């Protein structure tokens, strides 16, 4: 490994909830550096969640992320001239990142509504164990399970 390892930057807590996970989620939503737009989307999404479920939106958000976040993923590896899909356990940070990414992509895929509404619906469905993001997780787990025979190549 060349050079020194990159130091982790401290992320600023979000304005409304003082939660680092929500602050990261806002940063993932953000496009072209427009953080206030991303904050409006996330906070109005949380207002919609509170209105529809009559529960704390942070609790629903965390429950949804727990449902979406993968435990296993597959990575391609070349062994002796052949490429194998090898299942690996997912680290905590990557688990959160993948969960957020799948949640945002599933919300983007919905058509005909504002982003805050699409995101709120996807989070509510994910907290119940439904929706496109949960299907994505199940698909990844199924692929990892199918390739369990190649787990001995992991090092």
pLDDT digit string (tens) for 33-51? 999 999 999 999 999 999 9
- Full domain range(s) for residue 74: 20-153
Question: In this structure, is residue 93 part of a structural domain?
Answer: yes
pTM of the predicted protein model: 0.90
Question: In this structure, is residue 28 part of a structural domain?
Answer: yes
| CB proximity list for 129: less than 8 A, separation 6 or greater | 67
Question: In this structure, is residue 14 part of a structural domain?
Answer: no
* pLDDT range class, residue 153, cuts 50, 70, 90: confident
Apex 99 CA angle, 107 and 40, nearest 5? 50
Question: In this structure, is residue 113 part of a structural domain?
Answer: yes
Question: In this structure, is residue 76 part of a structural domain?
Answer: yes
pLDDT digits (tens, 9 = 90+) for 4-42: 999 989 999 999 999 999 999 999 999 999 999 999 999
Number of domains making up the chain: 1
**Contact in structure between 113 and 86 (CB atoms under 8 Å):** no
Question: In this structure, is residue 145 part of a structural domain?
Answer: yes
The CATH number of the domain where 38 resides is what? 1.10.455.10
Question: In this structure, is residue 123 part of a structural domain?
Answer: yes
pLDDT digits (tens, 9 = 90+) for 134-146: 999 999 999 999 9
Question: In this structure, is residue 26 part of a structural domain?
Answer: yes
């Amino acid at each position: 490994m060349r050079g020194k390892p990159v130091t982790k930057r401290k992320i600023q807590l979000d304005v409304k909830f003082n939660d680092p996970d929500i602050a990261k989620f806002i940063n993932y939503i953000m496009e072209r550096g427009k953080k206030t737009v991303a904050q409006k989307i996330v906070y109005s999404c949380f207002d919609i969640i509170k209105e529809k479920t009559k529960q704390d939106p942070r609790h629903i958000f965390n429950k949804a992320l727990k449902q979406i976040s993968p435990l296993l993923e597959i990575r391609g590896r070349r062994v002796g001239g052949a490429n194998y899909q090898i299942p690996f356990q997912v680290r905590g940070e990557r688990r959160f990142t993948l969960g957020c990414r799948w949640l945002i992509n599933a919300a983007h895929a919905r058509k005909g509504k504002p982003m805050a509404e699409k995101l709120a619906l996807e989070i509510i469905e994910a907290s119940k164990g439904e929706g496109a993001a949960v299907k994505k997780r199940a698909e990844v787990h199924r692929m990892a399970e199918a390739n369990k025979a190649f787990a001995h190549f992991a090092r």
